[in-house]
A and B are shown apart, each in its own frame.
Chain A
Amino acid sequence: VSEATAQKTAQQVLALAKRLAPKTEASVWLSEGRDQHLRFALNGVTTSGDVSTTTLRLTLKAGLRVVQASTSQVDAASLQAFVSRLVDALAVAPESPEAQPMLGPQKYLLSPHVFEEKTASAPYATLVEKAKQLIEPSAQAGLVSSGFCSLRSGVLVVATSAGLVASARGASMGLAVTSRTADGKGSGKESVSVRSVGAVDALALGKQAATTARATAKLKPLSPGRYTVILESDAVSNLLGFYVGSLDARAAAEGRSAFAKEGGATRVGDTVAPSFLSIVSDPQSKEAAGYSFDEEGLPLTRRAWVEQGKLMNLSRSRFWAAKNNQQPTGGYPGFTLAPGSTSQSALLASVKRGVLVKRIWYSNLVEPKSLLVTGLTRDGTFLIEDGQVVGAVNNFRLNESLVGMLQRCEGVASDSGLTDEPSVFTPAMKVADFTFSSVSDAV
């Protein structure tokens, strides 16, 4: 589906809503997408798919009454019935003091890195070829691989009865491979998601996963405790996701957040990390590209959450911003941990005794005030002594305060921070006194 066709459908829905309910405000969010995917395990294909999806979400507002519904059916008859039902629902909807007027025309920056035609038009055979390359190093070495390859493309439109029109195309490719030794004692994983189909060397990913699997097959026991750690990109992304997700102005103002202060103020303006650490969202950036507008059509541009160690912003919905005479921040799920000035290998070389963590698994928030997160290391945990990786160790359960983790951060790597989310970029990080509370027997 082209952008023009999707825009036309959105305008048809707005016209239909206006005809059926002339005094009603309306907003349409339309996503048309295609997802080709291939899954493999035991060094061979398991499931695969070529899936088309359509989601049309319509929001109607009259005074303080708001209703929202979505459908996958966008033929004329279905849309007529869908809009009619929602108009009827609006008539009996309850009022909400949080209701906001529909946005009018907005200006957007270009997000030049979110779409590449080669990625969007890549055939299914691309996935078969990538899967072969991911599997091959394991299969040749007597290891057992599993993984997932996907190609996603689509068009997104937001339009309102107040004249807002935003649209964009997006595409991405995701590759992931886990390599395990046949006896199940070693495991390694590599995964990336990128906007450009040509940006990743699948064979190199497969080789690296196999190398980690072999390296972890013979491990030495290491006791739980507090260690200096080097967290690789995926581990950082996993943990920082909880931190960024908690940057909510309303929760802080209401006193139910790690960013609330005793007595009622928030921590905006406070120093929350060393001065070399910055966390930003920037949909126009190459490394963490995303759409330039959110679900309501608000423009999204670079926004610093933590800049040079200082908490600069908390996320504000349109309702909360209006209530506090501030500008809304828009909802953007992506973020970048600004790269530091030393390489990951140099960071590692600076560790006297510590642990290298490649990935973190099944993390969950335990305690919201300190942002205590639990989770487990997986697919590569190594002991560092005198700046060198000296061997694999058992996996750990971690219980770590993210507020404390940022304060104890001793460096961010300058290397690539690609993750398995195309809008998240997080280079490796060195953290002192990181808490491993118990040993996990899992490999």
Chain B
Amino acid sequence: MRLSRRAVLAGMAAASAVEAKGLVIEGQGEAVISAGLDAAKAAGASYADVRLHRRRNESLHVRDGYVDDLSDDETYGLAVRVLCNGAWGFAASPTVSPEGAKVLARRACELAKANAAILTQAVVLAPQGRVDGAWQTPLMQDPFRLPISTKVELLQDVCERLKKVPGVSIANAGLTTRLEWKLLGTSEGSRIEQRITRLGPSYGATAIDRQSGEFASRRWDGQARQAGWEWIDESHFLADAERVGSDAVEKLKSPSVTPGVKTVVLHPSNLWLTIHESVGHPTELDRAMGLEANFAGTSFATLDKLRNYTYAAPFITLYADRTTPGGLATCGFDDEGVPTQKWNLVEAGKFVGYQTTREQAGWVGEKASRGCSYAQDYASVAFQRMPNVSLAPAKQDLGVSELIEATDEGLLVVGTGSWSIDQQRYNFQFSGQMFYELKKGKIVRAVRDVAYQSNTPEFWNSCDLLGGAKDWQLGAAFDDGKGEPMQSNPVSHGCPPARFKKVNVLNTRSQS
């Protein structure tokens, strides 16, 4: 009997809890963890966690049909984090051994004790029961087990399709494949093993007019995914190529946009990044508390606004979810042993929730962490990172085409371009890949040189039409930066198309 993919995935997901345990050969894992935890306790730690962390990144890039980059980078090492006298300490090294774990644990405790001189508020962790768990990405075909020739041929194929379009001058294609494996042990007895596979296919075309000196590029709207090789087919990677090439040529010849205050219809391939910046980051509790003030910034969504502030139009709900299938931030447990979950950040337009870690839960009167602790690799301290943050679809199942039909005059924005937002997440400016003028429910023509500017609360309250599940899509950021030293966090954002009124549209050429 042939099973649906959904059924196969469901079966794999169920099996994964068993399969992940001991997947990677780290026979000494328990010995290393125990040695680190024991040494931390002996050195005075009231809490400790030990993390073995492997990160592999295979990168392949093809330009005009030939490979110009092929690399396979791996880091593997050991991280020990401790609490001594209410202060954090951390030490890490690529030496993975029981003796190495003891050295790191003692060093982490030395740092924590030295920090007492400038500690103003002792860390208190929200309780977390002992967890003995495992999790791995549900996938059909492991991309790391495929020969490199399969991947090269795919990228060459897409470049060939792009170059077949008259007017395309340069074709680029890339593939990033990431594996993250980690084994976490905590002084509370938890032991958690996870194996996460992420796949990031991409390509683009550039059309160049040498005489006029004009050029235009168009990137594919497809997204990175936590998935196996099957994502290549599901994402329409090859099927979209001809259209992407044609778009680049059309964009080159398109007239420049007339700036002004307009109605904009944001395709899900564009809106996900606006959600990331204007909802994902402002609802990080460390920002709201001022912990990121020196670098990533603070937030307009301050604690006094929690459950007391209209963030968006009343039909809008935005939620955090580290269990979204395919989401880059999806996993079974965070990096301090908390099972992942789904919860609302904005509910029916009201600001109702933050992203938290065990240290932060008590700051907003919550008894348990939301499971948002993450470290990018062995050399990094786990801290609060963004889960997948998504916009819930409307009950009325409108897609992109229905939103266009419902719009008398406006601008459709497809794909992501340049992006920027202020450090408290008010003023933002986003661009896109393709822009289309809409009149009387139809696309009239493509235009170029577009960016839209708005202010987060004004923008989300100006939404007057929301799409449904039909065209709900996940967008993804492979390397969202935050923290000092800066770390990258992979995260996805799902959304339907949506329409916003009175948005300031700029002509980027006239700004020059």
A49 touches B290 (CB 8 A): no
Interface residue tally of chain B, by bracket?
35 or more
Chain B residues within 8 Å of A150, by CB:
484-485
Nearest CB in chain B to that of A97: its residue = B66
Cβ of A69 and Cβ of B71 under 8 Å apart?
yes
B427 with A439: CB separation less than 8 A: yes
Known: A47-B383, A94-B67, A256-B170. A41 touches B210 (CB 8 A): no
The proximity string for A residues 176-209 relative to B, scoring 1 for CB distances below 8 Å and 0 otherwise, is 1110100010010100000000000000000000
Question: How many A-B pairs with Cβ below 8 Å?
Answer: 265
A326 contacts the other chain (CB 8 A): no
User: Across the interface, which residues of A come within 8 angstroms of B89, CB to CB?
Assistant: 48
Task: Report whether A51 and B379 are in contact in the complex, using a CB–CB cutoff of 8 Å.
Answer: yes
Picked from B71, B120, B292, B509, the residue with its CB within 8 Å of the CB of A44 is B120
Q: Which residues of B contact A441 (CB under 8 A)?
A: 300, 422, 424, 426-427, 455
Residue B1 at the chain A interface, CB threshold 8 Å: no
Interface window among B35-43, B90-98, B437-445: B90-98
Closest CB of chain B to A385's CB: distance in Å? 25
Q: Contacts A70-B74, A361-B297 given: A435-B120 contact, CB under 8 Å? A: no
Note all chain B residues with C-beta closer than 8 A to A71.
74-76
CB neighbours (8 Å) of B426 from chain A are 440-442
B88-111 vs A, CB cutoff 8 Å, 1 = contact: the mask equals 111111110000000000011011
B57: nearest residue on chain A (CB-CB)?
A70
Asked whether A54 and B94 contact (CB < 8 A) given A48-B89, A404-B512, the answer is yes
Stretch of A102-110, A286-294, A342-350, A370-378 on the interface side: A370-378
Give CA–CA (A435, B507) in the complex, Å. 13
18 contacts between A and B (CB under 8 A): A41-B294, A44-B121, A45-B119, A49-B91, A52-B93, A55-B75, A70-B73, A89-B148, A92-B149, A93-B148, A178-B293, A254-B170, A362-B423, A367-B509, A375-B420, A404-B512, A441-B426, A442-B424
Q: Are B504 and A438 in contact (CB under 8 A)?
A: yes
Least Cβ–Cβ distance between A137 and chain B, in angstroms: 14
- Complex Cα gap A161–B70 (Å): 20
**8 Å CB interface, A18-56 against B:** 35, 37-55
A72 contacts chain B at the CB level, 8 A cutoff: yes
Residues in B95-148 with C-beta less than 8 Å from chain A: 95, 107-108, 110-112, 114-115, 117-121, 147-148
The smallest C-beta distance from B305 to any residue of chain A, in angstroms, reads: 13
Complex Cα gap A366–B511 (Å): 10
Given contacts A94-B152, A375-B420, A440-B427, contact A53 B455 (CB under 8 A): no
Q: Are A255 and B210 in contact (CB under 8 A)?
A: yes
Closest Cβ–Cβ distance, residue B150 to chain A (whole Å): 11
Residues of B within 8 A of A187 (CB): 293
Known: A148-B294, A441-B427. 8 other contacts (CB 8 A): A37-B484, A131-B118, A178-B293, A255-B213, A370-B512, A376-B427, A397-B420, A441-B424
* Residues of the A chain whose Cβ atoms lie less than 8 Å from the Cβ of B431: 366
Contacts of A51 in B (CB 8 A): 90-93, 379
Interface pair A68/B71, CB less than 8 Å apart:
yes
Instruction: Answer yes or no: B233 CB below 8 A from chain A CBs.
Output: no
* Neighbour of A184 across the interface among B298, B422, B455, CB < 8 A: B298
B418 part of interface (Cβ distance < 8 Å): yes
On chain A, the residues within 8 Å of B379 by CB distance are 35, 51, 53
Could you tell me if A372 and B512 are in contact, using CB atoms closer than 8 angstroms? yes
Does chain B have a CB within 8 A of A263? yes
Q: Does B317 contact A (CB under 8 A)?
A: no
- Which residues of chain A in 147-174 are interfacial with respect to chain B, using CB atoms and an 8 Å cutoff? 147-148, 150
User: Is A124 in the interface zone, CB < 8 Å from B?
Assistant: yes
**Quick check: is B211 within 8 A (CB to CB) of the other chain?**
yes
Contact between A95 and B66 (Cβ–Cβ < 8 Å)? yes
CB distance from B30 to the nearest CB of A (A): 20
User: Looking at the complex, which one of A44, A73, A96 makes contact with B76 (CB distance below 8 Å)?
Assistant: A73
User: A365: which of B74, B170, B418 is its contact (CB, 8 Å)?
Assistant: B418
Chain B hits for A440, CB < 8 A: 422, 426-427
Q: In the complex, what's the smallest C-beta–C-beta distance from B282 to chain A, in angstroms?
A: 11
> In the complex, what residues of A have CB within 8 A of residue B206's CB?
256
- Is B232 in the interface zone, CB < 8 Å from A? no
B421 at the interface (CB under 8 A from A): yes
Most A C-beta atoms less than 10 A away, residue of B149, B294, B424, B431 = B294
Interface status of A271 (Cβ within 8 A of chain B): no
Closest 8 CB pairs of A and B: A44-B120, A442-B424, A370-B512, A442-B422, A262-B213, A401-B512, A49-B90, A440-B427
Task: Tell me the nearest residue of chain B to A370, going by C-beta.
Answer: B512
Tell whether, in the assembled complex, residue A45 and residue B118 are in contact, meaning their CB atoms are under 8 Å apart. Answer: yes
Specify the chain B residue showing the minimal Cβ separation from A395: B422
Q: Hey, which chain B residues are within 8 Å of A147, CB to CB?
A: 294
**What residues of chain A have their CB less than 8 Å away from a CB belonging to chain B?**
35, 37-55, 57, 66-74, 86, 89, 92-98, 124-125, 128, 131-132, 135, 144, 146-148, 150, 176-178, 180, 184, 187, 189, 254-256, 260-264, 361-370, 372, 374-376, 378, 395, 397, 399-401, 403-404, 435, 437-443
A224 vs B485: C-alpha distance in the bound complex, in angstroms? Answer: 34
A404 to chain B: closest CB distance in Å?
A: 6
Q: Which of B77, B92, B291, B418 contacts A46 (CB 8 A)?
A: B291
Residue of B nearest to A32 (CB): B94
Q: Which residue of B lies closest to A50 (CB)?
A: B91
User: A390 CA to B381 CA in the complex, in Å?
Assistant: 43
- Is A72's CB under 8 angstroms from B94's CB? yes
Interface residue from A48, A55, A146, A364 paired with B115 (Cβ < 8 Å):
A48
| A144: B residues at CB distance < 8 A | 290, 293
How many angstroms from the CA of A255 to the CA of B114 in the assembled complex?
A: 56
Whole-angstrom distance between the alpha carbons of A304 and B396 in the complex?
Answer: 61
Indicate whether A372 sits within 8 Å of B422 (C-beta atoms), given known contacts A45-B87, A442-B427. Answer: no
CA distance A401 to B508 in the complex (A): 10
Return A80 CB to nearest CB of chain B, in Å.
15
Contact indicator B114/A124 (Cβ below 8 Å): yes
Query: Which B residues are CB-close (under 8 A) to A364?
Result: 418-420
Residues of B within 8 A of A89 (CB): 72, 148
Contacts of A184 in B (CB 8 A): 298, 302
Q: How far is the CA of A255 from the CA of B72 in the complex (A)?
A: 32
B429 close to chain A: CB less than 8 A: yes
Q: Which residues of A contact B504 (CB under 8 A)?
A: 438
Q: List chain A residues, Cβ under 8 A from B484.
A: 37, 39, 148, 150, 176
**B489 interfacial contact with A, CB 8 Å:** no
> Which residues on the B side are within 8 Å of A66 (C-beta)?
70
| Bound CA–CA A183/B114 (angstroms) | 31
